[in-house]
């Protein structure tokens, strides 16, 4: 990114890549997959695979095997499609919450938080872990649970390692990911018991051995390869921040010398030198998938407005030659249609006409203004402040310096009944937050996975059936964060 200053305005020269095409949606997009086929699924059960359109139950996840078989997670279980036809299926009473994969293996998380490995033949194997928070596949399967435990499993489902816990209370795993054979674990310690520390750290484990532990002082919420996305915005490579962003980075795709990073309504290509280009989308980057060479990248997500049509699926080629996007960073646009004074060079540099005359300003106007200023100056009388008044002014100055920190209020717990599609619209209302000095500079609603869902005090969101903890975070003018949370139950 470069900046050109011509003396009157700053021109910010950014790069972007053009959108190849957009696929219209008839309902909220819930999953995308880019590989041999371009596929996406919707909340109404519509599944698009290339030019084929199929109908199933609510789609919750997609992953395509290297040879083209598509694993589809739904509210009823797992279905596997080949060439547009279903070849096998597995029912799950609680449905499937997510599907991820690596090469010829996939892992699905069901509605009870249990993990199941799916191999290239479509065979499913359960692993002995419950309340699964994250599951990442590499040469092995890594799992983090809500209780703060981390395990690894062989690809046939046998446990190979358990991370030693750092205390029984107050530890939370915020992200896990593989960089080759190294498992990276991001954790936060809340220091709730004596002897336990408050910390935001990343750990590097290789063959059950701790290689290093780094206190990054930032919450990591996504990991892919050596890249890490931050809750408060930004991307790290190793322990170095290589790009500052304004919103959380929950989606990363490692591409070796660069990473594709989804943050709010933008997809960024980021290298160790910073942001290379950015693409703005109509919806938030909630679903992201890329084929191996990056020529087909699918982006989808809602704009969180339930009163507009569903946002389309966007297809870009991340290897395309970027083009300049010039935005004028000036206030001139806010002036409206200001009157233009047309003058020639001869008139400007001539000796007979003043600038005031060229602009149509009478000299008498300046004389009248001068007289007015003289009269005002005559009215100014210097008065001595009494000792009592001095004390009063001092007391007032002390009161003015007192800072009242804002206090977040996320409202009360909620319980709602789901619609037929298994979801319900919930109003998150932080308007009860106390902020007498208007010191709040940032609002953020975050779900129980650490994902930001809104940056406004009040928002309506659609949640799936189950329990959810929603946290309201506010930042004041001194950069201090505070939070309050509520529990939402969708029956």
For the ranges 33-47, 241-255, 425-439, the lowest mean pLDDT is seen at 425-439
- Domain that includes residue 456, residue range: 414-490
- At 236 the three-state DSSP class reads strand
Would 350 be classed as within a structural domain?
no
**How many domains does one find in the chain?**
2
Q: What is the mean pLDDT of residues 476-491?
A: 85
Query: Among 328, 360, 387, which residue terminates a domain?
Result: 328
Q: What pLDDT score was predicted for residue 2?
A: 35
Q: Looking at the domain assignment, is residue 23 inside a domain?
A: yes
Indicate whether 259 belongs to any domain. yes
pLDDT attached to residue 120: 84
Is 321 in the same domain as 461?
no
Q: Which residues pair with 10 in a beta bridge?
A: 5, 329
Residue 355 is assigned to a structural domain of this protein: no
Residue 347 lies in a domain: no
pLDDT for residue 24 is more than 60: yes
Q: Which residues contact 305 (CB under 8 A, 6 or more apart)?
A: none
What is the structure's pLDDT at 487?
Answer: 87
Whether 69 is in a domain gets the answer yes
The answer on 420 and 292 residing in a single domain is no
Q: Residue 112: count other Cβ atoms within 10 Å of its Cβ.
A: 14
437 in the same domain as 308: no
**Position 439 confidence tier, pLDDT thresholds 50, 70, 90:** confident
Residue 286 lies in a domain: yes
Residues 317 and 426 in one domain: no
> CA dihedral defined by 11, 13, 17, 22, rounded to 10 degrees?
-20
Q: Which among 266, 294, 328 is the end of a domain? A: 328
Q: Is residue 272 exposed (0-12), middle (13-18) or buried (19+ Cβ within 10 Å)? A: middle
Half-sphere exposure of 337 (CA within 13 A, CB side): 0
Indicate which CATH number applies to the domain containing 428.
Answer: 2.60.40.10
Range of weakest confidence among 237-241, 353-357, 444-448:
353-357
Domain end: 328, 345, 370, which one? 328
312 shares its domain with 445: no
93 shares its domain with 204: yes
pLDDT in tens, 343-402: 444 544 455 555 445 445 455 454 555 554 555 555 544 545 455 555 555 555 555 557
**Residues 308, 424 within the same domain:** no
Q: Is residue 234 in a domain?
A: yes
CATH number at residue 25: 2.130.10.10
């Amino acid at each position: 990114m470069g900046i050109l200053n011509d003396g009157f305005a700053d021109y910010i020269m950014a790069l972007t890549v053009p959108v190849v095409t957009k696929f219209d949606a008839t309902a909220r997009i819930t999953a995308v997959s880019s590989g041999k086929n371009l596929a996406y699924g919707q909340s109404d059960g519509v599944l698009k695979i290339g030019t084929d359109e199929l109908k199933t139950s609510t789609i919750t996840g997609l992953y395509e095997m290297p040879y083209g078989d598509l694993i589809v997670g739904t509210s009823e279980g797992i279905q596997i499609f080949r060439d547009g036809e279903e070849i096998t299926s597995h029912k799950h009473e609680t449905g499937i919450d997510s599907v991820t994969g690596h090469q010829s293996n996939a892992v699905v998380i069901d509605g009870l938080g249990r993990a199941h490995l799916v191999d290239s033949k479509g065979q499913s194997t359960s692993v002995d872990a419950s309340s699964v928070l994250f599951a990442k596949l590499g040469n092995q399967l890594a799992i983090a649970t809500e209780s703060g435990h981390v395990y690894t499993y062989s690809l046939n489902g046998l446990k190979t390692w358990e991370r030693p816990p750092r205390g029984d209370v107050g530890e939370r795993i915020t992200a896990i990911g593989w960089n080759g054979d190294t498992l990276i674990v991001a954790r936060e310690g809340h220091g709730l018991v004596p002897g336990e520390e408050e910390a935001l750290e990343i750990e590097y484990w290789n063959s059950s051995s701790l290689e290093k532990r780094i206190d990054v002082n930032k919450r990591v919420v996504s990991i892919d390869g050596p890249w890490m996305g931050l809750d408060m915005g930004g991307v790290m490579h190793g322990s170095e921040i290589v790009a500052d962003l304004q919103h959380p980075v929950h989606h990363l795709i490692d591409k070796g010398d660069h990473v594709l990073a989804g943050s709010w309504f933008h997809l960024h290509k980021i290298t160790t030198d910073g942001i290379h280009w950015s693409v703005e989308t109509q919806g938030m980057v909630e679903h992201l998938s890329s084929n191996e060479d990056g020529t087909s990248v699918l982006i989808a997500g809602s704009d969180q407005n339930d009163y507009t049509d569903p946002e389309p699926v966007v297809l870009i080629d991340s290897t395309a030659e970027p083009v300049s996007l010039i935005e004028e960073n000036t206030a001139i646009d806010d002036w409206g249609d200001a009157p233009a004074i047309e003058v020639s060079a001869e008139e400007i540099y001539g000796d007979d006409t003043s600038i005031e005359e060229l602009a149509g300003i009478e000299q008498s106007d300046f004389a009248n203004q001068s007289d007015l200023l003289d009269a005002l100056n005559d009215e100014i009388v210097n008065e001595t402040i009494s000792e009592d008044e001095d004390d009063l002014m001092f007391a007032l100055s002390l009161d003015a310096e007192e800072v009242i920190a804002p206090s977040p209020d996320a409202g009360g717990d909620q319980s709602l009944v789901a619609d037929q599609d298994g979801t319900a619209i919930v109003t998150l209302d932080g308007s009860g937050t106390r902020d007498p000095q208007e010191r709040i500079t940032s609002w953020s609603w975050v779900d129980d996975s650490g994902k930001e869902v809104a940056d406004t005090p009040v928002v309506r969101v659609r949640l799936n059936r189950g329990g959810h903890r929603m946290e309201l975070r506010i930042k004041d003018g001194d950069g201090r964060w505070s939070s309050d949370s509520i529990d939402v139950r969708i029956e």
